[in-house]
Amino acid sequence: MRIVVVGTSGCGKTTMAVRIAAAFELPFIELDGLHWGPNWLALSEADPDEFVRRVCEAVSVDAWVCDGNYAMVRDLIWPRATHVVWLDYSRAVVMARVIKRSIARAFNQKELWAGNREDWRRLLRPSHPIGFAWRTWRERRSRFEQLLSDAQYRHLAVLRLRRPREATTVLNQLKSNGR
């Protein structure tokens, strides 16, 4: 299986992807980990060729679970994927999650990627995941609906979760339609 987990920033993609990867003993690919360099250097802007190279290498194996929404590498991931798990939660759920996560990360100073840590001073910036999730929620939802109805992605088994409680059934659904 090659599973991609998508959804708006802060919806729980990484948590879900880690859970699926562990349950099926598959490699986990965290696109944020491939994307972010030290000092929040975004490789998609600073060195897009390197970001593409990293993703190509990561998804070249036979089976994996990948989380993330980077449009510039979607055509490297989705054609190889067998499944999409779409966390299509309400804006209220997403915002509660992204705010809680951001505050917890700012408080505990856990290292995220390449030495980066959440900073209290960035919480209200438009580029911060809180503002980004608010601004992109509706657009992402429409975009995923459009993408998943496109003929080039008809090969994908799509599991669209609309409520967090539906996440408990994902492993059984994946077992029944993919393994």
Tell me the average pLDDT of the chain. Answer: 90
Q: Which CATH architecture has domain 2-91+137-178?
A: 3-Layer(aba) Sandwich (3.40)
CA gap 16, 129 in Å, rounded:
18
What is the percent of the chain with per-residue pLDDT over 70, rounded to a whole number? 97
28-71 pLDDT tens trace: 999 999 999 998 899 999 999 999 999 999 999 999 999 998 99
97-134 pLDDT tens trace: 999 988 888 888 888 877 777 877 776 776 778 888 88
Is this model's pTM higher than 0.75 or not?
A: yes
